[in-house]
Amino acid sequence: MGRFWSLLFLTVPILGVLTFVCAIGNIWPLNGGTLAFPADQWLPDDVSENGGVIDNLFMFILYLTGVIFIGTSIALFLFMWKFDAEKNAEPVKFTHGSHTLEIVWSILPAAALLFIAIYQMNAWVDAKMKRPTEMIGRSEVPKRPLVEVTGRQFEWRLRYAGADGQIGTPDDLHAVNDLHIPVNQEVVITLKSQDVLHSFFLPNLRVKQDAVPGMKQFVWFQANEVGAFDIVCAELCGWGHYKMRGRLTVESQEDFDKWFAEQMSEQERTEFTPSSGDDDE
C-alpha cells in the first residue's frame, strides 16, 4: 500500500505543475464547462498603468513559491516511496538533526522572504503613498480629486467637481454607480462612506481600498484602455452586499466631456440640486 499512498501524494506536485503551466501559458482550465486555450482569464484583464507591477509581483511570487512547493512536495513523495517500511530494508538512520542543515534552511528562506518584502515596497509606495501631483502656478501640489465616491448601502454615490473645480459646491455633478473617467490620465478620487464599511474594488485596475465612515481617503489610478468595467464592493456591508455593483466607464477625453455636459444639463433640467453629499433619498 505504501506505493499507492506515495503516488497519491505525487498527484499534489503534479497538480501544482499543471497550475503553473496554466498560469504561465495563461490557460484557464474551466471555461463555461469546456477547455479553452488560451482564454486570457487567469488574472482578469489589466487595463491600468500600475496594475502590471502588481501582476508581475503576483507572478514572481507564484514562480518562487511554485518552485518551493513542487520541490518540497516531490521530496515528500520521494521519501514516502523510498522509505516505505514494506520495501525499505535499510536500517533507520538514527539522527537527531543537523546544525548545518538547520542553518542552511533558516538563512535561505529568510533571505528570500526579506528579498520579497523589500522588492515590492516600491509598488506599495506607488499604489498607496505617492499621490499624483499637478502644477498650480509654479508649485507642485497633490492632484485634486476628479470625483468623490461615497459608499452607501448598497450603491456608490458619485460627485464630480463642476466648473469651479471644487467638490462640495452647488455646481457639482451627481451620479450613482456610473463612474466615468478619461482614458490615459491619472485620476484621483476621494473615497468616503456614509454608513458602514465598503471596499472600492476595480478588478481590472488592481485597485482596492476600504471606504471607512469618518475617514476621507484618496485613491488614484490610470486606465489605459477604453471600455466598461466592474466596480465591486469587496467588504461585507450588509444583506445587499452582493448587489452593490457599479460600472466604470473609461472613455476618451472628448467622450468624457460630452458625457459630463449631457449629465450636467440633464441634472439642471430636473432641478435636482442637493445641498450636500449627505443627502438622503
Residue 152 pairs in a beta bridge with 155
Q: Is the peptide bond before 154 cis (omega within 30 degrees of 0)?
A: yes
* 3-state SS assignment for residue 25: helix
Distance in Å, CB of 17 to another protein, minimum: 13
Distance in Å, CB of 128 to another protein, minimum: 4
Distance in Å, CB of 184 to another protein, minimum: 22
R_g of the chain computed on alpha carbons: 26
Distance in Å, CB of 242 to another protein, minimum: 4
Round to whole Å and give the CA distance between 39 and 91: 52
Decide if 71 contacts 35 (C-beta within 8 A): no
Angle 172-175-181 (CA atoms, 0-180°, nearest 5)? Answer: 85
| Nearest to 251, CA basis, from 184, 159, 156 | 184
DSSP state of 194: S
- Grid cell digits, residue 104: 542552511
Q: Dihedrals φ, ψ of 145, to 5°?
A: -70, 145
**Cβ-based nearer residue to another protein, 253 or 276:** 276
**Cβ-based nearer residue to another protein, 100 or 139:** 100
Q: Hey, how many other C-beta atoms are within 10 angstroms of the C-beta on 138?
A: 5
Distance in Å, CB of 8 to another protein, minimum: 7
**Cβ-based nearer residue to another protein, 106 or 166:** 106
Round to whole Å and give the CA distance between 79 and 81: 5
**Cβ-based nearer residue to another protein, 39 or 264:** 39
Distance in Å, CB of 268 to another protein, minimum: 26
**Cβ-based nearer residue to another protein, 158 or 237:** 237
H/E element, 157: strand 155-160
Q: Could you identify the residue written with the cell 478620487?
A: 189
**Cβ-based nearer residue to another protein, 239 or 254:** 239
Distance in Å, CB of 210 to another protein, minimum: 5
**Cβ-based nearer residue to another protein, 126 or 171:** 126
